[in-house]
Structure 1
Amino acid sequence: MESQRTFLLIGLMLVSFLLFQEWNNDYNAPKADPSATTQTLGATTSESDDFIPASSDGEVPVATTAKRSVIDVTTDVFTVKIDTRGGDIIEADLLQYEETKGSDTPFMLLGEFDGNQYFSQSGLIGLNGPDATVAGRPVYKTTQKSFTLNGDELRVPLEFTDSKGVTFTKTYIFKKGDYAVDLEYTVNNVTADPIQVQLYTQVKRTVQDKGSLVDQNYLGAAYGTEEEPYEKYSFSDMADKNLNVTTAGGYIAFIQHYFVSAWVPQQDQQNTLYSKLVAGNAAIIGTKGEAVNVQAGTQTTLASTYYMGPKESDVLEAIHPDLDLTVDYGWLWFISQPLFVLLKWLHSILGNWGLAIIAITVIVKSAMYPLTKAQYTSMAKMRALQPKMAALKEKFGDDRQKFGQAMMEMYRKEKVNPMGGCLPLLLQMPIFLALFYVFLESTELRHAEFVLWLTDLSAKDPYYVLPILFGASMFITQKLQPMTVQDPMQQKMMTFMPVIFSVFFLWFPSGLVLYWLVSNLISIAQMLIIYRGMEKKGIKVRG
């Protein structure tokens, strides 16, 4: 296989991979307007949009009027707004993450974004649950309108008493430095009769359109069960069929670029995972626990955990053994995960993510040097056989069978493997694609600075220097490998390949382009070393 065809194969594989990703991802990361005014649920949301999962006595109609207020909660990592109607989290700003690079505005994970909604909801259904028996959902009371974390833990209690005197206390528990929030529902049954309640937790998000071909991050729901540790459930999946799975433990999540929100119910019980599209454009995925009987004169506490924050593998795994899979490295996760560990280790030494990317590229390319050498050596030997190949074509003319037999005999005598240039490349591609996912999914690279004008490795190069340098490196590689292909179409593709890729990479995150540029530069250096060694042995490589 000639070097130019190998180069074409790399390009076609990359483009095909991105096109496959575009087809595979039904929806992409939301494009929220950072300057959009955030509004509370009560101001803009139609109350008929709320969805209460079916309990034993079916769905309950929701009233169109209810008085409510908003509770403000501040910790070292959050500012959170809780609606007293239903006790839902209707806004969450991540204080340690900027909305845009250099801005003073914290990143809004939950809330309303120019008409797009993203809320966390929970409640009690069942025969006597307030969300199933109170039209319009219960409006909770609280002792204060704002709470601030001063120590290691902050408890935010919301209380509702139904018409029979049963008290329901919904308590959110925030912890210092923690993006996981515990939820406790305490049911105090002061009546003379037993009651039955059932905890549900869900995330509601507006269905959103696809992003660009360059932005390949998944936006949508996911869930995990005892049998399936991680399954995506996209907006189109919900449109086709409602999710309805019962499992021991489990979890549900909504995933976007760099961030995730997830409900993790009690793992020692059977939970039902469900989804639903409501009001035409709102997607819901949630969990429903077992029905719990609260005897007369007793109280019971039901619990769940809600995570809303960055996709950090170690933190997510500590909450649920499979929740770290929401850091979606694709089907090559078993390669990506150790590469990410290596990248973090390099960063801990070098203190700069750009330098860490360069270092890991050097390490990977060095480790693959034997494959690279085998690839270039095989291609060089194939080029050296071009005169003999031409002579065989002239000798056998259109007799393809005899030409094929003679060609294979020549390969055998010359000890050349015609696939020698292809196989090493195919073995390298999984590692390259695994690194692609690492750079794409790593929250640590969001807004990470490198040097000079490269102040955000997760954004495109503002001056397009890296894409231009990348195109130049491809051009140099072509010059080191004189064109030997005869097909005019392939010749044109090879000529324009550096330009095509430079344009293609204009919108790529600069961290990814940096990786490809460094990889190309190392390949050029390796190529010169390999070719110089072969020429010393009398093997004609170039010209």
Structure 2
Amino acid sequence: MESQRSFLIIGLALVSFLLWQQWQKDYGPQPVAQTEMSSSESQTAGAQSQGVPSFDDSASGNATSAGNQSSADVPVSDAAPAPVQQNTARTIVVRTDTLDLRIDLLGGDVIVADLLKFPVKQGAEEPYSLLRSSNGLHVAQSGLVGAQGPDASGQGRPVYRAEKEIYEMTGDTLEVPLTWRNDKGLEVTKTFTFNRDSYNVDVSFSITNNTATPASVQQYAQLKQDTQVEQDDSMMFMPTYRGAAFSSEDERYTKYDFGDIEDGNLRRKTAAGWAAMLEHYFVSAWVPPQDQTNTIYSRNLSDRYAVIGFLGEPATIQSGESQRLTSTLYMGPKDQDNLAKLARGLDLTVDYGILWWISKPLFHLLQFLHSLVGNWGFAIILITIIVKGAMYPLTKKQYESMARMRNLAPKMQQLKERHGDDRQKMSQSMMELYKKEKVNPMGGCLPLLLQMPIFLALYWVFMESVELRHADFILWITDLSVKDPYFVLPILTGASMYLLQKMQPTTISDPMQQKIMQFMPVMMSIFFLWFPAGLVLYWLVSNVITLIQARMIYANMEKRGISSKS
């Protein structure tokens, strides 16, 4: 095998893999939605009578009353939501060191969440809006359904009261209590608790039953998003996922995209679990109590709005007693360390695909190197040196095997002339020649196949790591997560591939194959024009190291009497 063919295989494999990923995203078959067994029909009817979410798609449900002007639907509603209007009379502002929120007192929903430490564009003052009430609805809703729940079907969303219009964090924690009381004596305090330097928000419902009879309630929380908003950070050769995901006891991480939600409503009962909406570098997620059994569900509204959330265990509060129900809302970057602490499998929203078991150690190594040098670009260079150094024995074996195969080319030609079209004798003679010369015909392929998963794993590390977003390197490279603005790195990468070709003379005689190999550096440079600068930097450094290693290997081969030229 020729080294040029190796690079061709790498390039074509990479492009094919990315094209396949994009095709799967747009046109691939979707998993069948989970549904309950028929025996649950009686339970559904009972739940419906108690006001808890029935998940009955055929039922028209009770839409929120027009007088409440709710933008949100509790799980039982099939009505299409109207865009949330930031009515200052019922909206409060919450500011911490990490979040700038707007909470609608109608339902106590988070309708805006700006991430203060993540500008929408590098150098911009405007923060990235993860949750938003306009320009693509994406809101976090929560409440209490059940027979006496404030969000129960048929009575609209509750209107909470807040002591202030603006809450700002001054210490290490900030509590924002919202209160509601009905005319029968049921009191609910919905409290948002924020911690400094954190994107976790603890959401609790303290229910006090001052009525004469027991009160039955059930906690729910959901994320609602407009599916018709285009994602502006995904390209053809760099597809990124935007959609829902959830976790169950059996599956730590499952994507459930907008097409899945449109095809069928999810309904899965599980211990612990969580429900989330994903973007390229950010995630919003509801995490219910991990010591309880919850129901993960999804809904599609008017073929435009996708909903995913959880329904907690029913709770009964006796007359004169109180009870507290809790959950956690995460709104922030895909920080693997923090997400792993929050819930089992939530860190898998940083999706490395089937090669996660390689990508995770590589990411932790990249983190460690960054802690040493303080620059993600130099960390990429160091991890490339380490990876290429670790793979040097494979590279050496690959180059020596290719050299031996080239040296056998004249003898192989003699065998072809001797046996003509007799393939059986030709095969036997070839095997005898390989055995005599101690050459493994697959010796050049196996090292390459072992290196490909590492390259693809690193590709997803660079693509998925929010740490590289707006990460500065040197000179004109101010953001490793986007393309090189002046295309210097892609051009240098193409030049390095050209030099590698020149170092390895080819025995390819077919004119068409020769032209393909000659244009390979140009083709790859064109592909690299749109790749993140961090990934192109990795490939460039990898090629430079390969040039150095090749010279070392060839020099060693010459000393041992093995010709490196055809």
- TM (normalized to structure 1)? 0.92
Letter in 1 for 2:67: T
Decide whether aligned partners of structure 1 residues 113 and 458 sit closer, same or farther in structure 2, where only a CA change above 3 A counts: farther
Q: Percent identity?
A: 55
Offset of 1:297 from its aligned partner?
1.4
Query: Is 1:86 aligned with 2:107?
Result: yes
1:428 aligned to which of 439, 442, 451: 451
1:24 alignment partner in structure 2: 24
Cα displacement string for residues 301-323 of structure 1 (whole angstroms, at most 9, x for unaligned residues): 11100111111111111111321
1:100 alignment partner in structure 2: 121
- Distance in structure 2 (CA, Å) of the matches to 1:187 and 1:23: 49
SS, match of residue 106 in structure 2: coil
Q: Is the 8 A contact 2:162 2:178 kept in 1?
A: yes
Query: Is 1:465 aligned with 2:488?
Result: yes
Q: Is the 8 A contact 1:379 1:421 kept in 2?
A: yes
SS, match of residue 182 in structure 1: strand
2:210 alignment partner in structure 1: 190
Offset of 1:341 from its aligned partner?
1.1
1:54 alignment partner in structure 2: 54
- Distance in structure 1 (CA, Å) of the matches to 2:451 and 2:423: 33
2:555 alignment partner in structure 1: 532
Q: Is the 8 A contact 1:480 1:542 kept in 2?
A: no
- Distance in structure 2 (CA, Å) of the matches to 1:65 and 1:341: 53
Letter in 2 for 1:508: F
- Distance in structure 2 (CA, Å) of the matches to 1:217 and 1:468: 25
Query: Is 1:358 aligned with 2:381?
Result: yes
1:240-259 paired onto structure 2 within 5 Å: 240-259=263-282
1:91-490 paired onto structure 2 within 5 Å: 91-112=112-133, 114=135, 116-133=136-153, 135-207=155-227, 208-209=229-230, 211-490=234-513
- Distance in structure 2 (CA, Å) of the matches to 1:133 and 1:18: 45
Q: Is the 8 A contact 1:93 1:110 kept in 2?
A: yes
- Distance in structure 1 (CA, Å) of the matches to 2:5 and 2:422: 25
SS, match of residue 511 in structure 1: helix
- Distance in structure 2 (CA, Å) of the matches to 1:188 and 1:134: 22
Offset of 1:538 from its aligned partner?
2.3
| 5+ long unaligned stretches in structure 1 | 28-51
SS, match of residue 223 in structure 2: strand
Letter in 1 for 2:64: V
Q: Is the 8 A contact 1:53 1:59 kept in 2?
A: no
Q: Is the 8 A contact 1:195 1:293 kept in 2?
A: yes
- Distance in structure 2 (CA, Å) of the matches to 1:6 and 1:143: 68
Offset of 1:490 from its aligned partner?
2.3
Letter in 2 for 1:102: G
Q: Is the 8 A contact 2:111 2:140 kept in 1?
A: yes
- Distance in structure 2 (CA, Å) of the matches to 1:172 and 1:438: 34
- Distance in structure 1 (CA, Å) of the matches to 2:427 and 2:3: 21
Offset of 1:437 from its aligned partner?
1.1
Offset of 1:5 from its aligned partner?
2.4
SS, match of residue 286 in structure 1: strand
SS, match of residue 226 in structure 1: coil
Offset of 1:190 from its aligned partner?
0.8
Q: Is the 8 A contact 2:94 2:167 kept in 1?
A: yes
- Distance in structure 1 (CA, Å) of the matches to 2:397 and 2:510: 26
Q: Is the 8 A contact 2:214 2:316 kept in 1?
A: yes
Offset of 1:134 from its aligned partner?
5.5
Offset of 1:21 from its aligned partner?
1.6
- Distance in structure 2 (CA, Å) of the matches to 1:154 and 1:130: 25
Offset of 1:136 from its aligned partner?
3.2
Offset of 1:55 from its aligned partner?
7.7
Query: Is 1:66 aligned with 2:68?
Result: yes
1:513 aligned to which of 533, 536, 558: 536
- Distance in structure 1 (CA, Å) of the matches to 2:60 and 2:273: 24
Cα displacement string for residues 161-210 of structure 1 (whole angstroms, at most 9, x for unaligned residues): 22323112111111111100000111111110111111101111111457
Decide whether aligned partners of structure 1 residues 380 and 113 sit closer, same or farther in structure 2, where only a CA change above 3 A counts: farther
Root-mean-square deviation (CA, aligned residues, Å) is 1.8
Q: Is the 8 A contact 1:153 1:173 kept in 2?
A: yes
Offset of 1:272 from its aligned partner?
0.2
- Distance in structure 2 (CA, Å) of the matches to 1:364 and 1:316: 27
- TM (normalized to structure 2)? 0.89
Q: Is the 8 A contact 2:214 2:318 kept in 1?
A: yes
Q: Is the 8 A contact 2:19 2:237 kept in 1?
A: no
Offset of 1:387 from its aligned partner?
0.7
- Distance in structure 2 (CA, Å) of the matches to 1:3 and 1:415: 20
